Structures are given as C-alpha cells and as structure tokens.
Chains A and B, each alone.
Chain A
C-alpha cells in the first residue's frame, strides 16, 4: 500500500487541520511497549472495568432503586405474591423477564470480581518488581486510590438487589458504622436517612454506585493511563535494555491489535463465566428482612478478609464514661478498620519509606526481579500471608463444615496464625530469595549443565558446563545494587549528621540490612567446562 485510502486520508486531513493531531500521532503511533506476561495483569482490570460500564448501563435500564414495597408478580413462581422492595422485584425481573438480563447480570457480577482481582495481582506485580519507584510513585498512589474505591464500589453494588444476602452485608456495614466513636450514630442516621434499614439506602447507594464512584474511577483510570503513557512502561532487565531505552513492540500495529484481542479474551472469559457459572442467584435468597439470615452467608471475595478479621476478634469493648456513654466496641472497630488501614497505608507509604531507607533518589525504569530485593519480597509475602489468613478465616464456617474441624478451633488457629503466619512467611521468603540468588550466581559464574558427561584422563567423570546464553545472562546481570545510606564514622570517628539521632541510627541499620547484597554476582569463569568444584559435585558413582 503506497497511499492511505481516501476515506482515511480525508478524515485525517480534516482533523489535523483543526486539531494538529499529526504531531501527536507522529510521536506516539510507534510508542514502544515492552513484552512480559506480568505486564498484562493490569489490563485485565482495565478491560473488566469497561465491561462493567457496558453491562452496568444495561442493568440500569430495568433496575428500580427504590425500597417501596410491592407484591411480586413476575415469572418466578416460588415468589409470586410475596411482598418485597421494588429494587428486589426489578432485579428478579431482570433475571427472569428480560432476554439476556440474567446473562448480563451475571457477567456484571463476575466482571466486578475480576476487576478487583485484576487490580490486586497487578498491584502485587508492581510491588514485587519495584515498579512503583521513582518516577512512578504518583501512579502507585493513584492505583491505591483505585483499589480502595473499587472496594466501595463493590460494596455499594452488591447491596443493591436487596435480597436476604445483600441485606446481611448491609446490616454488618451498619453495625460497623455504629461502632465509630463519637460520630458513628450520626453517620448511620445520615447515611440511612434515619434508623436501619430505612427507605433511602438503596437509592443512595445506587447514586454512589452508578455515578459518583464510577465517575471518580474513570477519572483516576484515565490519569493512571496517561501517566503510564507519558512515563513509558518499565521493562524487565535483559539484552539491550537500559535505564535509558524501551525495547519492545510498537503501539501501532502490534500492541494495539494485541490489546484488542486481550480485551476480547477477557470479555469471552467473563461471558463464559456469566453463562455457565451461576453467581448470586438472588431468587433463592428471598427478599430482605432484618429478622432472618441464611447460614453460610459469604460476601464477595474481596470483602472476605474483613469478614475474617471480624470473626477472629475477641470480645473487647470499653465504656470510657461508665454508664453514661463513651462506648468503644473494639471487637468491631479494630477488625473493621485496622487490617484495611494497615494494608492500604502500608502500600501507600512503601515507596517513600523505601526511598528513605535506601536513600535512593534515582529514576528506575528497569524493574527488579523479586529475588534481588529479598527484604521487599519478604515484606510483601508477609503482607499477603496476613491478608490470606484473614481471608481464609472469613470462610471458617465453610471450612469447619467441609473438613469436619471444630468451628472455634478454626477461630483460635486464626488468632495465632494472623500473627505467626506473616513472620514465618517473611523468613521463608527471605531464605528462598537468597537461595535463588545463589542459583543465579552459580549460573553466571559456572554456566549451565549441558547434560554431557566427560571422563577425565584420571578417570574422574564430570558434567560439562556450557556458558549461559546471552539473553538469560543479560537478564540475570540486570540485578542492581540496592544503595545503602552513608552511616560510617569519618576519620575523626564522627558519624555523619543524619546518623547521630536515634531515628538516624535506626535508619542506618535498616538501610544496611535492606541494601546489603549477600550474593554478589561474579564474573564468568573462563574455563571450557565446569570448574573443578562443580565437577566434583556432579560426580557419577
């Protein structure tokens, strides 16, 4: 093709005359996107969000966000003639009286689960590879904001159908709000328009769920994308890759087409789940009443850790002013706010704490392999274990029932595991990282095993090692030193200014622990086959 088709040329000229889009496209059509499977995780969340917007809009055409009571008269026989809120009745209508309604509702629910799951694994990728480092701290913070908002979006969403299960979640939310010291009751009365459940909460949550939160999400996602575009994507260490370049495939045509296909794959998986994997069968739960509940009620997966922490907490409650008030229900307040607070605050502060500890103010565009920053990786794994224990214990009734373990034993196990688990995870991860670094160092200095056994003149058998291929070697040699702040005393025995205070000394100590490289990579040995040491180990008996 020598000239663009007339239709495209005409439109392009029209737009460029008015917008000057040409220079933007000249710079950006061939923008490079590095390849690595883990860079695709965030895209899952992005595409799920688009699918959520599309399916959600469809649902709003039939959903009626009001709590006025009506008698159900739709197609679902078992509930005919039952009094229920209009919200629940319209959710049933979407499921049974609108063609494709059930499908879209189920895709919407699955997409919500995948949206948050995609965000979480994407965040873990960014964390474990250190991709949040300068200059990307702002985008990291935007990401944390997105995740927090997405949790709220999920909560407001699954409260809407007003069935017995969604009501149970709402009731717990109300109990948690009530527990907030000083202003809890006021917030509850303002949010619910009076006493629980009132008649306002569904319509209010509806506005939050379809307008306010998605609006902010959309704005933040746009900012997230723009920043990623402007700062260019990070890349894995490898051949020809430096801090000053991006090696990959151009946006047009390859990345564009791949992204399109990936969107379709995501949509296909969600459509498949929406078709074949039933989710939230609201017609089985019946209308909400605060007097009833079904056993084994479980929230959506991303709320599970809050459920778990509520279940684990011992019954602590204090009355500051005795009989006249000042009640602080610690058994609600701590589990509802503390784990979430620790995780979210920890995530938000981590880039800045790490910078403070390492004193590293450089830009980073090549990411770390997780093993090469063992303390970061161990902290991450400890956090995952903390979250994981809470999440698992959110289903302790199911565990107890299915595995025939005493219910209270699971709780007591959880109370211990939530503290001990992260500690063990930290130590184990640290050892694994060091072990993997050792393996890397061995491959770099001795090459890889070739599978060829050689007999030496003296009768000894050794396995021939061959030099590592260039790309793998470059990948391993991408390991970078973690800086350690200056803390040693100068000639006169005076430590530098920053290291004199208690905090300064702590910082210096942490910096040394965080940055010390226990397994530095050596130069490759020049020998043709295995070093004698390696040969000895590979001896055939």
Chain B
C-alpha cells in the first residue's frame, strides 16, 4: 500500500492541483502491521498484499501442475507415425511443457517480487591481491621447496627429465597419423580417367534416373542435365569430384573459351563442383548461359569455357572431353586435364601447365 502523506520536496512538483480533493488519510493506517525485526537494507512487503500475492502464486503453480499432468497425458494419448500425428503430438507435448514452465517461472517471479522483501544490502569488497606479507611468505616457501627438491642444483636430473618428457608430449600427435591416408595425387584425378571393367569408355549417366544419355536425344538447345559417372552413381567420394553439368548449345553460341574438340554436336560438359569451395554450381540461366553457384554466387559463362564472370571463384569450371560410343551414348574421352573443385596448396597453376602441354603436343 502506498503512503499518500509522504512529503514531496517543496519544488519538485506543485503540491496540489487546484480543484482536486486533498489527499485522504491512509485507508489502513490503523492496522497494526507485524514486521519482523528489520535488517539494514531489507524492506519487507506489506503483509496484506503479500497474502494477495500468495493467491496469485498458488494459481500459477496449480496451472503448472495441470500442464505438467497434461504433458504426461499427451505422451500417452498422442502417438506418432505420420506427419499429421507427429505434428499433433508435437503441439500437445510442446504446448503443455511450455505452459508448465512458463507458469512455474511466473509463479516464482511473483513470489520473489511481491512476497520476499526488497533488498538493498551492502557487502564489502576486498582487493583481489593478497597482502605483501603473504606474497613474501609464498615466495620464501617456493624457493625453499625448490632448493630442497634439488631440481635447481642437480642439472643432470633436470635435463634428463625434460628430455624424457619431449617424446611423450609428441606421442599423441604421432598417434593421430592413422586418422587418414596422405593426400598423394588423389585430388588431381577423378573416376572419369579410370578404365571401366569392360574396357569400354565410361558413359555419362543422368543423375537420378541412372540412364545413359543418347547424344541424339539431348537435342534441344538450352537444355541442361546433371550427370554422374557410370559405375559410381551412388559413390559419394567419386561424385564429390566427378559430377558434371551437361549443356546443349547451338553451334553459333559457343565462344572461343570452350574447347570444341571436347564437345560433341554442341554438347558441353563442365565439372559441377565449384572452383571456389566446392558447392555444386547448380543454377543455370538459359538466356545468358550463366552457371551460378548458389553458395557464394560465383558465376561462370558456360558458352565461353565456363570462365568466371562474377564472384569469389578464381578459376573456370574444368571442361571434360566427351564424345559418343558406337551405340550413340555420350562418353568421357579422358579425365579432366586439371584438378576439379576448390584450390589447394599443391595445385599450382594447372591451367597453364595444361596449355603448355597442349602446345608441345
């Protein structure tokens, strides 16, 4: 309850607005209030309003109880198994849990704010540092101990101990060696370059359907396919390097950056693995012939050797030499001539190397 007779400072606000009634006497002024012996900084709540607050708290705790029971009932009552059932169960379980936690929290907060006293208690702080006497004594103890142990005096002991610790410290690192094989030249090759079991060239397979692609059927300009290597349709390690995008162009659309010897009848195959950090560069805009990687928006010009036109990728998507076998299906004629995917330390300027090789040949 508020005390209306409190003195306002003379000058803060006008004492009374003209035309309003004077402040009345406090309604409950006469009631004797039992206040426990007060500690400094502890201001007790008014018992009457505390009793009122108790009812609110009790109500909230009861709601928490009921919601808690509701949670257990929901667990039994609502089964999962289909999308709809899972959704119902999720709402029932989550709704009751939320309600239980929320009313419990609200109850405790009301308890703290309206039943517990208001505190402005003071506690002394002490400097974190210990006093000089203590420091001095620790220092002496340390020096005495070091002396007694002989660690300082006995050089041989000290040095051999350090020597003994060194290899043991390295041991955990050595143990980690078998985490994986050494890279070797694995990042430079893909399965497109490997011979097939039958000895025939490796066919291009449509991702998803698993069917080989007949060049004559892939004939509408602007067409695009996601392609995986025959025999490795579900091998994730192989796909992480060997996945292709296959594009069909009108002959006049192809620009000088594209190696025409590696195309077949306007069909061009590029690595789908972005040269930036390796996301599949999966978006294709027919009108501009732009391939866009959705991760960091490196953009490549598919008509011009997939050279970079925007974004953080520094190199074009490598082109795969393709042709057809005697049944008319698209095949890989060789592996990529440069490593696919993101750059790495050992890679070097493989494009320049490939150009040099081509010039010599």
Contacts and interface: CB of A to CB of B under 8 A. Distances in A.
B237 A197 contact: yes
Contact of B296 (A95, A258, A290, A310): A310
B14 interface: yes
B50 interface: no
Contact of A295 (B101, B125, B294, B353): B294
A436 interface: no
Size band of the interface chain A makes with B:
35 or more
Interface string A515-541: 000000000000011000000000000
Interface residues of B, number: 93
Given A193-B180, A245-B123, A257-B111, A75 B345 contact: no
A332 B315 CA distance: 13
Nearest to A185: B183
B297 interface: yes
Contacts, number: 322
Contacts of A263: 105
Contacts of A292: 207, 226, 280, 282
A89 interface: no
Contacts of B207: 291-292
Contact of A322 (B240, B280, B349): B349
A475 to B, nearest CB: 14
Contacts of A232: 123, 125
A411 B298 CA distance: 11
Contacts of A311: 296-297, 311-312
Contacts of A257: 108, 111-112, 116
Contacts of B22: none
A363 B128 contact: yes
Given A294-B294, A323-B350, A272 B94 contact: yes
B357 to A, nearest CB: 10
B151 interface: no
A315 B11 contact: no
B237 A397 contact: no
Interface string B340-351: 011111111110
B345 A184 contact: yes
Contact of A297 (B93, B187, B295, B345): B295
Given A293-B295, A294-B294, A323 B83 contact: no
Contacts of A332: 276-277, 312, 342-343
Interface in B313-361: 313-315, 341-350, 352-353, 356
Given A323-B349, A325-B348, A246 B123 contact: yes
B310 interface: yes
Contacts of A312: 312
Contact of B278 (A171, A317, A335, A408): A171
A261 B106 CA distance: 7
Contact of B346 (A75, A185, A250, A310): A185
B220 interface: no
Contact of A102 (B86, B127, B349): B86
Interface of B: 9, 11-14, 75, 78-83, 86, 89-91, 93-95, 97-98, 101-102, 104-106, 108-109, 111-112, 116-117, 119-125, 127-128, 176, 179-183, 186-187, 207, 226, 228, 234, 236-237, 239-241, 243, 272-273, 276-280, 282-283, 294-298, 308, 310-315, 341-350, 352-353, 356
Given A268-B101, A311-B296, A408-B297, 9 more contacts: A174-B277, A178-B342, A193-B180, A196-B237, A291-B226, A297-B294, A325-B345, A332-B276, A397-B297
